[in-house]
Amino acid sequence: MSGFFEKQAARSRKLIATTVGDEHLQPDSLTPLQAELDALGTTGDSGRAPSIAPPGSPPFGPVVRFDRVSIAFSGRPVLEEVSFSVERGQTLCILGRSGVGKSVSLRMMMGFLRPDSGSIAIEGRELASLDEEGLRALRKRVTMVFQNGALFDSMSVRENVAFPLRERGGLDDEQIDRLADQLIALVGAEDVAEALPASLSTGRKRAVAMARALAAQPEVVLYDEPTTMVDPLIARRLGGLIARLKQQLGFTSIVVTHDTRIARQLADTVLFLHEGRALFFGPLPEFLAAKDAEIQRFLRLDAYRLPMKNPGHAS
């Protein structure tokens, strides 16, 4: 047995059960999914969307690298010479107030926006060098979980999750249904598999959007404000789900948020954007201990928020 699900299997067994909405996630729900994917030969790098790394590139470079990236809109600078990188399997949280260019950074990573100057490389490949076909390949490697879920309205939850499995080809209907059901179980949405997205709560939609993103078997999962517009309890559960998917499945994750609690829960590294600049880029503990006045102000905002409910006491 080989593949990217394998090395996380041992870890998956000692997972904390976590919940989204009011459904309990099964602590070992990954195991059947993994066995299934292995049986289908869909694990390992061959199972993931093909790497866009140029042939012969070193295997352990950063998955995402921004090098002095600048972008302005109508002459107004949004990012100025921003540099950072994300290693494989790590979670970067991009923090900063509204309007500092967090979403713009994600859109540049997917090649939807091009920087005015500087370079962006995914798996060592410079995005500026990609043609349309290259960008399509990129967007299979790097997928976004949108705030509103961006689910197809006319399709059931199961059909939404099955969609990327169908797209990748090579699976029959029965295999697709089985894998979709396992992904749905992984995010604790079994009870709504037949439902249309419109009938789901915001938190549920995001959990289903995560299952659909995973079905595409990307290398990098981008989350744009995954915990806004849901109550603190659901926010914490979604945070727990992101952490669990990262630990079990080894995805490289980039989480844009203005919520430092989510950053504390998830981040290996932090990029703090302020007035167009990367005011901080480095490991989470260093960020939390940073002396910079702006960072301290940002972290203190936490103190003015309502404390999080204890998930153990949730109904």
Ligand X SMILES: Nc1ncnc2c1ncn2[C@@H]1O[C@H](COP(=O)(O)OP(=O)(O)O)[C@@H](O)[C@H]1O
| Residue ranges in contact with ligand X by CB under 6 A | 73, 78, 96, 98-104
**Binding at 189: pick from Mg ion, ligand X, none (beta carbon under 5-8 Å per type):** none
Identity of the residue, 54 or 99, whose beta carbon is nearer to ligand X in the bound complex: 99
Instruction: Calculate the alpha carbon distances from 114 to 235, 307, 310 in Å.
Output: 31, 40, 43
Among 8, 91, 103, 269, binds Mg ion (CB under 5 A): 103
The strand pairing partners of 24, in sequence order, are: 19
Least separation in angstroms between residue 70's CB and ligand X is: 13
69, two tokens = 């990236």
Interface with Mg ion in residues 177-236 (CB under 5 A): none
Residue with tokens 């940073």: 290
**Strand runs labelled E in the chain:** 19-20, 23-24, 64-73, 76-86, 91-95, 117-122, 125-126, 142-145, 220-224, 252-257, 269-274, 277-283
**Binding at 149: pick from ligand X, Mg ion, none (beta carbon under 5-8 Å per type):** none
Least separation in angstroms between residue 258's CB and Mg ion is: 9
**Binding at 185: pick from Mg ion, ligand X, none (beta carbon under 5-8 Å per type):** none
**Binding at 140: pick from ligand X, Mg ion, none (beta carbon under 5-8 Å per type):** none
State the DSSP string of 141-193.
HEEEE-TTTT--TTS-HHHHHHHHHHHH-S--HHHHHHHHHHHHHHTT-GGGT
Contact 172, 3 (CB under 8 A): no
Identity of the residue, 176 or 279, whose beta carbon is nearer to ligand X in the bound complex: 279
SS3 content of the chain, % helix, strand, coil (to 5): 40, 20, 35
**Binding at 310: pick from ligand X, Mg ion, none (beta carbon under 5-8 Å per type):** none
Identity of the residue, 163 or 223, whose beta carbon is nearer to ligand X in the bound complex: 223
Least separation in angstroms between residue 102's CB and Mg ion is: 5
Identity of the residue, 41 or 99, whose beta carbon is nearer to ligand X in the bound complex: 99
Identity of the residue, 211 or 256, whose beta carbon is nearer to ligand X in the bound complex: 256
d(CA 71, CA 108): 10
Identity of the residue, 140 or 274, whose beta carbon is nearer to ligand X in the bound complex: 274
d(CA 143, CA 146): 9
**Binding at 89: pick from ligand X, Mg ion, none (beta carbon under 5-8 Å per type):** none
Binding positions for Mg ion, rule: CB under 5 A: 102-103
